[in-house]
């Protein structure tokens, strides 16, 4: 372990002086040190003189052009070796961080985003940071808030905003609504579906407090048509499964429709369908990491690609 006295001596040497001293100790001569550092021999000699004068120590005996380290020089060199080993460990750590070594990301996401968009973003993130560890969990909004506030998670990707003074909520992309139906339905011949078309069909509805339910209720009022529904759900995946089975048509988020691939299911964009933001949510007291920023960038790309298809 470096003593207080030795540490004090090293602090009186700047990094260039330490480098020159180390080079002389390794090569055993001014000529060798100059060659190792790609500098002039007089420059090395002057630097050694400054070091000895500054420290008030004789570090080398000059014998016929050669330098013989004194015991003081050897003791100082032992500490320099420790310093260089510490620097190397720092360099190694920094290099490992670039590939995710020692990094972990605890990630929460809304169910619809967890189906395809986030898994693809995670795959690209782990390819970029192969030594990182990612823990991913699907949660509802109330659980997302609690885990972020408790510090149990680092980042959440949500399909709806969260308003809390201790959480930062930033939009990162948009999603919309589309109509899903059995592949044999006559809607399959259409490029887009209008709200009136949907309301004229047997509908797999959503509860009024969901984005889908609110949109359907608004369309019903606008076109003055009742909602013909005997089935109500809260999950886009369940709505897709029912639509694929021929139970009716439904309105789901574009992310779920795009991810729910089945030969019996088809989907089309809805004319003038409302759009919504997707959000990254963090605890305001936690700075973002390199890996989390990379993942957010990939989520943005995925959200943009899904919107471009529909």
Element (H, E) at 97: helix 71-98
Please report, for the chain, the start and end positions of each structural domain, with discontinuous segments joined by +: 4-98, 104-173+276-309, 175-275
pLDDT at residue 102 above 50? yes
Rounded mean pLDDT of the chain? 88
What pLDDT is stored for residue 17 in this prediction?
A: 87
pLDDT at residue 1 above 80? no
Pair type for strands 133-138 and 155-158: unpaired
- Say how many C-beta atoms besides its own lie within 10 A of residue 57's C-beta: 14
Q: 3: pLDDT confidence band, cut at 50, 70 and 90?
A: very low
Fold of 104-173+276-309: D-Maltodextrin-Binding Protein; domain 2 (3.40.190)
Phi/psi of residue 210, nearest 5 degrees: -95, 160
- From the list 175, 60, 165, 199, the residue with the least C-alpha distance to 116 is 175
Q: 6: pLDDT confidence band, cut at 50, 70 and 90?
A: very low
104-173+276-309 and 175-275, same CATH topology: yes
Spatial distance between the Cα atoms of 180 and 239, rounded to a whole number of angstroms: 8
- From the list 107, 103, 121, 119, the residue with the least C-alpha distance to 157 is 107
- In total, the chain counts a number of residues equal to 310
> DSSP string of 111-155?
HHHHHTHHHHHHHHHHHHSTT-EEEEEE--HHHHHHHHHHTS-SE
pLDDT at residue 232 above 90? yes
**Contact criterion met (CB below 8 Å) for 303 and 225:** no
* CATH of region 4-98, choose from 1.10.260.40, 3.90.780.10, 1.10.10.10, 1.20.140.10: 1.10.10.10
**Contact criterion met (CB below 8 Å) for 201 and 249:** yes
Spatial distance between the Cα atoms of 85 and 30, rounded to a whole number of angstroms: 24
Q: 215: pLDDT confidence band, cut at 50, 70 and 90?
A: very high
Q: What is the dihedral of CA 168, 174, 176, 181, to 10 degrees?
A: -100
Place of tokens 């139970």: 247
Is domain 175-275 annotated with CATH 3.40.190.10? yes
What pLDDT is stored for residue 29 in this prediction?
A: 87
- From the list 215, 193, 197, the residue with the least C-alpha distance to 205 is 215
Tokens of 6: 């030795």
pLDDT at residue 212 above 90? yes
């Amino acid at each position: 372990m470096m003593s207080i006295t030795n540490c004090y001596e090293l602090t009186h040497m700047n990094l260039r002086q330490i480098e020159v001293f180390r080079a002389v100790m390794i090569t055993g001569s001014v000529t060798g040190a100059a060659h190792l550092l790609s500098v002039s021999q007089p420059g090395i000699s002057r630097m050694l003189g400054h070091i000895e004068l500054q420290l008030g120590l004789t570090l080398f005996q000059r014998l016929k052009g050669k330098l013989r380290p004194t015991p003081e020089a050897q003791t100082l060199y032992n500490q320099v070796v420790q310093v260089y080993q510490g620097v190397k460990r720092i360099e190694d750590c920094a290099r490992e961080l670039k590939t995710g070594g020692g990094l972990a990301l605890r990630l929460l996401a809304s169910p619809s985003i967890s189906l395809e968009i986030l898994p693809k973003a995670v795959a690209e993130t782990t390819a970029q940071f192969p030594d990182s560890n990612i823990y991913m969990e699907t949660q509802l909004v109330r659980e997302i808030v609690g885990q972020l506030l408790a510090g149990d998670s680092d980042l959440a990707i949500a399909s709806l905003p969260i308003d809390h003074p201790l959480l930062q909520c930033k939009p990162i992309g948009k999603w919309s609504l589309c109509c899903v139906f059995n592949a044999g339905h006559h809607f399959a011949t259409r490029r887009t579906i209008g709200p009136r078309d949907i309301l004229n069909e047997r509908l797999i509805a959503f509860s009024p407090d969901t984005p889908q339910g609110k949109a359907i209720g608004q369309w019903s009022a606008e076109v003055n048509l009742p909602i013909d529904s005997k089935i109500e759900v809260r999950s886009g995946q369940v709505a897709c499964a029912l639509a694929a089975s021929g139970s009716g048509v439904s309105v789901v988020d574009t992310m779920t429709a795009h991810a729910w691939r089945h030969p019996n299911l088809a989907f089309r964009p809805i004319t003038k369908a409302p759009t919504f933001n997707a959000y990254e949510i963090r605890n305001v007291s936690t700075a973002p990491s390199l890996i989390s920023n990379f993942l957010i960038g990939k989520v943005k790309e995925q959200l943009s690609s899904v919107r471009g298809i529909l």
